[in-house]
Amino acid sequence: MNKKLNGVNEKMEENKKIREEVLHSVTGLTDEQLNTQVHEGRWSIMQVLHHLYLLERAITYAISNQLANGESKNVSDKPIHLAVNRSTKVNAPSVVQPSNKFISLKEMKEKLSQSREALSKVINTADPSLLEQRAYPHPIFGELSLKQWIPLIGLHEKRHLAQIEELKEELT
């Protein structure tokens, strides 16, 4: 197997583990608890999960689009590990803002499964060299190679896992 693709597979495995942690963290909560906003103007746990789904879908689309239509760029790696630092508040772009509608955990798990399946399909069929050569802008980090977007998904979910844990404590 191509070494470059293998690195991508490792990142996807890490993303899988983080997703499992996220889903495990909400196990045992009722749909009502998951949809409860503990603070005015802050997301419920379900809205956090919906945001994760919307973001993964948007990134999958961006990667797919850049693989098909993008131009090669020389983009340096950015410090994406900083994405887990929650001391800096970041407002989500409108396209990944969650809805206020009631969503069941069963429905959300299906959505998250579908978005991960779509991402995996795009990544598994991608030319590994194009993942390094093509880029898409991030609102904080600037131009990121498509290859860096892959681990950023997991780091972003890890960031929100900490938020979910905080919200769970406030539910009780």
DSSP state, 99?
Answer: P
SS3 state at 143:
strand
Instruction: Tell me which H or E stretch contains 11.
Output: helix 3-26
Q: Which residues of the chain have pLDDT under 70?
A: 1-6, 172
Q: What is the structure's pLDDT at 5?
A: 56
pTM: 0.93
